[in-house]
Amino acid sequence: MAEEGTEEVGQQAAAKPPKDSSGKNPLVAILLIVNMACLGAVAFMQFKFMEMEKSRPDLTTLLKEMNADNNSELDTELPPTESISKENLVDLATFTVNLAQGDGPRRYVRLNAVLKMSADSELSEIEARKPQIRDTIIGILNSKRPEDILKRDGKLYLKQEVKSAINSFLIDGKVVDVFYVGFQIN
């Protein structure tokens, strides 16, 4: 009988499914479903956006329509552009100048510049003063350290400094702008 009692307990234990101890959490399943719903919403929004983009006209057709409608108005709205003639430009030969000694090795700058002169400038004065202009630029460059002119603001400040120094001794006309054609620091 004792054996029968143990057999019945064994059969009852075999008939009952064992407790699931794997620790499945229903929260993971819920989060998975929410995640899939969000991904579906994003995909739907992208689909709608692409449909909207297909219906928009492209830029070339818009420009053609605008030109056809406002052809005469477009010509009158453009601001007048400044014309630069070759007579207003003075090319200075290439400069190779030692820079001021910093903490490091000796460095130099190789500069090729073009001066834009005002319309009332006389070319004869510019040509006569070219050595003085070159001397002024060399003097300015000799006083600069590489750190001073490597930055963009340093190059812009150098332009302003050259322009004001040259304008200080010109009689007829003035320098309107300085263009760097070549600028190299070694």
Instruction: Say whether both 42 and 99 belong to one domain.
Output: no
Instruction: Say whether both 53 and 138 belong to one domain.
Output: no
Q: Long-range pairs for 182-185 at CB < 8 Å and ≥24 separation?
A: 182/94, 182/110, 182/111, 182/112, 183/109, 183/110, 183/111, 183/112, 183/155, 184/109, 184/110, 184/111, 185/99, 185/107, 185/108, 185/109, 185/110, 185/146, 185/149, 185/150
For 122, phi then psi, to 5°, come to -100, 130
Instruction: Say whether both 113 and 180 belong to one domain.
Output: yes
d(CA 141, CA 66): 51
Q: Is 38 within the bounds of a domain?
A: yes
Q: Is the pLDDT of residue 20 over 50?
A: yes
Per-residue pLDDT band for 173 (boundaries 50, 70, 90) equals confident
Q: Is 52 within the bounds of a domain?
A: yes
- What does each C-alpha distance from 31 to 37, 38, 41, 126 come to in angstroms? 10, 10, 15, 80
Q: Across residues 148-166, what is the average pLDDT? A: 89
Q: Across residues 4-30, what is the average pLDDT? A: 65
Q: Which of the two residues, 86 and 29, has the higher pLDDT score? A: 29
Highest mean predicted confidence (pLDDT) among 19-23, 85-89, 107-111:
107-111
Q: Residue 185 corresponds to which tokens in the numbers above? A: 């620091």
Q: Is 17 within the bounds of a domain?
A: no
Helices (H), 18-151: 26-55, 59-69, 71-77, 123-128, 130-142, 146-150
Instruction: Say whether both 110 and 53 belong to one domain.
Output: no
For 25, phi then psi, to 5°, come to -115, 130
Question: How many domains are there within the chain?
Answer: 2
Q: Is 130 within the bounds of a domain?
A: yes
Instruction: Say whether both 65 and 99 belong to one domain.
Output: no
Instruction: Say whether both 67 and 106 belong to one domain.
Output: no
Q: Is the pLDDT of residue 74 over 50?
A: no
Identify the domain containing residue 72 by its residue range.
26-77
- 3-state DSSP helix/strand/coil % of the chain, to nearest 5: 55, 15, 30
Instruction: Say whether both 115 and 56 belong to one domain.
Output: no
Select from 77, 112, 146 the last residue of a domain.
77
Q: Is 51 within the bounds of a domain?
A: yes
pLDDT at residue 12, rounded to an integer: 58
Instruction: Say whether both 53 and 32 belong to one domain.
Output: yes
Per-residue pLDDT band for 81 (boundaries 50, 70, 90) equals low
Domain CATH for 115? 3.30.479.30
Q: Is the pTM of this model over 0.85?
A: no
Instruction: Say whether both 103 and 63 belong to one domain.
Output: no
